[in-house]
Amino acid sequence: MVELDGTSGQLLRVGASQFGVGTEVQKNLERCLSAIDEAAEAGVHVLVLPEFCNHAAWYDSQHHAWSVAVSIDGPFLSAVAERTARHHMYVQCNVSRRTSAAEDDDLRSSNVLFGPDGFVALSDKTVLMGNENNYFKRGLEPNPVIDLPFGRVGLYACMEGVVCEPARHLAVRGATLLLNSLNSFATDEASLHVPVRAAENGVFIVAACKVGPLVPKELLENVAGALQIPSSRLRGAGESQIVNPLGVVLAIAPADGEKLVFADLDLREATRFARPDGTDVWQARRPNLYRSLARNPATDALLPPAVDELAVAVVIPSTPNLTATVEEVSSALVQGAQLIVLPELCGHDPISAVSVDWAHVVHMLTNALAKSSGKANSVHVVTSIIEGGAHVGSHVGIVISGEGIIHRQLQLHTAKRLPWMNQLGDECMTIDLPWGRLGLVVGDDLAYPEVARVFATLGVQVLACPISLQSKWEASLGLPERCAENRINLVAASQTQGLIGSLPTGMTLWADRAERPFDGSINMPNLTWADTGSTVTMGVVRPANAANKMISRGTDLVGGRPYSICAPIVDVPLVSTDR
């Protein structure tokens, strides 16, 4: 196989192999070796296999889990290493792994990377999903970033991709290619969680998921009955895929059936991560603002009492004319909206908006609220304004009631599209309203996954986002994921598009299915999209549902976050020079 050095412009062929895994370890090994042979025949340089390649991730007891686990120097992984070396390639194989010879001792879900010369790297899964918590210990160290001849590579697995921290800390440390092994029946892995990690970090991702039953066939009906889902859903979701740094899927396997997919990559496309306006995302990050992500979740703020339902509206003004905007806000109020989110700067062009009389804008919106059937303190409008001038400006998100501005949030990150903005906020601020706790994400800040995550640690139940959406992924992937991974309701408006993301009741794998029939998704919120064709888009969010952060038994999306691996996210001001 051709040796790649990462600088010559040669393309790196990467592949993802999806297949089923049963309860016979030797047969599972033979399938892994067959997948490696097939990939080598196709000219693949880097191959990713699914999670738990050695045995289906379902066990009778702790002793059973230990007995079918493998060790680094045991026959299973030795055979994978030998076959990988024979083809002079790199292979990520995920297994349940014994960490010692002591019976029933410490087990891990581990990604093991092999190369032409044998063992390369190991990462232990830092976020465990549901039943895995009964048998495995989670890793507490940051997953490695490995320098290979063709570039820097990071490893992670399945549930680690449903939250932002594991992929983020790999990208912050300079990885441009992430390898993800999955053991999931969730359709939102392929449609949301895998591609968003590529786009928000500006990296390539190779993700391999299983197909076929995920539990022993003889237990399939009983387990499906306990979960209250059809047994046909308790199967690997497939759709193994390769995604580029813009979140575009380059190759994808079907939902069913064994398949190898591959694509040719130029990893130099991931060496600089900039938004369309030229803002360097890595340079603009502000690690000190994200400190709470590395603290023990026991220190997180408690969620206040909240109402079950809140009527909300996204208003995308048909014109920057203030009178028309106020009329559209009034229309939303007549329709019962209690929280209305406008785009940043009320839809004005960010450059010309420097000359807008923002005091007059606030006055007009305040009057509209004050006139809304005496609800001056119970209905609110969110937008942003400019404070200062063309050379000393701040971009400030505001909450307006019938009594004026009651809450302010400065934009936290620089943006080249706003040349007048040179004063930034220094913390994420919250406000408690009659229905629950609100946080504001302003301008460009939602492009940074850490911001919504910090608001989650502060007990926010609804995020109001008067924002700018510069790239396609920021709307299609970024907005739903901020809602999903944090279990926060979201109301977002830009000048071209908006979203109301509402948390369903029973949004947990072990939920009462009378409340939420299983649709193949385990974490996708209810989405109501708004665009410029609909000036006023009404919806309902559910603040009280933000109290439920459990995606499955033992797996809390926020309280169970991998805080011990977050030092690179909060302590590294700049990514390595490789990016």
Average pLDDT over every residue of 228-239: 91
What distance in Å separates the CA atoms of residue 301 and residue 415, rounded to the nearest whole number? 30
* Dihedral sign, Cα of residue 485, residue 125, residue 129, residue 32: positive
pLDDT in tens, 512-561: 776 777 888 888 999 999 987 779 999 999 999 999 999 998 999 999 99
Strands 204-208 and 436-440: unpaired
- Record the pTM: 0.95
What distance in Å separates the CA atoms of residue 35 and residue 42, rounded to the nearest whole number? 11
C-beta of residue 129 within 8 angstroms of C-beta of residue 114? no
Q: What's the pLDDT score for residue 392?
A: 80
Q: Which residues pair with 110 in a beta bridge?
A: 95, 124
C-beta of residue 310 within 8 angstroms of C-beta of residue 540? yes
pLDDT in tens, 273-311: 789 999 999 999 999 999 999 999 999 999 999 999 999
Where helices occur in 430-566 by DSSP H, the ranges are: 449-457, 472-473, 479-486
Q: Which residues pair with 181 in a beta bridge?
A: 157, 208
pLDDT of 578 > 70? The answer is no
Q: What are phi and psi of 465, to 5 degrees?
A: -130, 95
Q: Is 317 left (phi over 0), alpha (psi -120 to 50) or beta?
A: beta
Q: What's the pLDDT score for residue 27?
A: 98
C-beta of residue 303 within 8 angstroms of C-beta of residue 467? no
What distance in Å separates the CA atoms of residue 143 and residue 167, rounded to the nearest whole number? 9
pLDDT of 23 > 60? The answer is yes
pLDDT in tens, 462-501: 999 999 999 999 999 999 999 999 999 999 999 999 999 9
- Return the closest-CA partner of residue 151 out of 297, 45, 276: 45
Helical axes 322-334 vs 358-370, angle rounded to 10°: 30
- Return the closest-CA partner of residue 96 out of 145, 60, 132: 132
What distance in Å separates the CA atoms of residue 341 and residue 326, rounded to the nearest whole number? 12
What distance in Å separates the CA atoms of residue 511 and residue 34, rounded to the nearest whole number? 39
What distance in Å separates the CA atoms of residue 197 and residue 449, rounded to the nearest whole number? 10
Q: What are phi and psi of 118, to 5 degrees?
A: 105, -145
C-beta of residue 204 within 8 angstroms of C-beta of residue 267? yes
Reported in sequence order, the residue ranges of 89-135 that DSSP labels E, i.e. its strands, are: 90-98, 107-115, 118-124
What distance in Å separates the CA atoms of residue 530 and residue 216, rounded to the nearest whole number? 44
C-beta of residue 345 within 8 angstroms of C-beta of residue 361? no
pLDDT in tens, 353-408: 999 999 999 999 999 999 875 655 789 999 999 998 777 899 999 999 999 999 99
Helix (H) or strand (E) holding 366: helix 358-370
Model confidence at 3, pLDDT cuts 50, 70, 90, reads low
Reported in sequence order, the residue ranges of 402-449 that DSSP labels E, i.e. its strands, are: 404-410, 421-423, 430-433, 436-440
DSSP state of 192: I
What distance in Å separates the CA atoms of residue 563 and residue 140, rounded to the nearest whole number? 9
Q: Which residues contact 345 (CB under 8 A, 6 or more apart)?
A: 353, 356, 383, 384, 385, 386, 466
User: What percent of the chain stands above pLDDT 90?
Assistant: 85
For the chain, what's the residue count? 579
Instruction: Look at 79-83, 235-239, 275-279, 511-515 and tell me which has the smallest mean pLDDT.
Output: 511-515
Model confidence at 2, pLDDT cuts 50, 70, 90, reads very low
pLDDT in tens, 251-275: 999 999 999 999 999 999 997 778 9
C-beta of residue 342 within 8 angstroms of C-beta of residue 325? yes
- Return the closest-CA partner of residue 543 out of 278, 308, 236, 271: 308
Instruction: Give the mean pLDDT of the chain.
Output: 93
Q: What's the pLDDT score for residue 577?
A: 39
Q: What's the pLDDT score for residue 519?
A: 85
pLDDT, greater one: 510 or 450: 450
- Return the closest-CA partner of residue 76 out of 32, 134, 127: 32
Average pLDDT over every residue of 197-206: 97
What distance in Å separates the CA atoms of residue 394 and residue 485, rounded to the nearest whole number? 29
Model confidence at 510, pLDDT cuts 50, 70, 90, reads confident
C-beta of residue 58 within 8 angstroms of C-beta of residue 215? yes
Q: What are phi and psi of 558, to 5 degrees?
A: -105, -55
Amino acid at 527: L
SS3 537: strand
Residue 9: both structure tokens together? 């412009």
Q: Is 261 left (phi over 0), alpha (psi -120 to 50) or beta?
A: beta
Q: What's the pLDDT score for residue 435?
A: 96
